[in-house]
Homo-oligomer: A and B are copies of this chain.
C-alpha cells in the first residue's frame, strides 16, 4: 500500500469554494483501479493549507492509472486553479504503525 501526500495551498478567500469542489471531485478518484481511500485534512496553523492523503494499492495506480485517465482531466479542471503555488506530490510507504481503533483514558 502506498500513501500519496499532497500539501495544498489554496488561494486565500477560496477555501470554501475549494472544499465544495473537492467534495464533487471525490467521484473522479474513488472509482479508480487501486484506489483504497482518501481524506482531506485542514491545517490548524495555516487556514488556507490542506493535506490530501490518498491510499493506493501501488505507486503506478496513481502515477500512471489515475494521472493518465480522463478522470484526472476532470479532477484538474475542477481543482487545480485553486492552488498557489502548485503542490508537490510525494508518496510514502508505512514502515511502522500503531492503530488504535477506539480511544480511552
Contact = CB atoms under 8 A, between A and B. Distances in A.
A98 B42 contact: no
A77 to B, nearest CB: 19
Interface string A2-43: 110100000000000001001100100010011111111111
Measured as residues with beta carbon below 8 angstroms from the partner, the interface class of chain A is: 35 or more
B103 A36 contact: yes
B2 A44 contact: yes
A97 interface: yes
Nearest to A103: B36
Interface of A: 2-3, 5, 19, 22-23, 26, 30, 33-46, 49-51, 55, 57, 59, 90-100, 103, 105
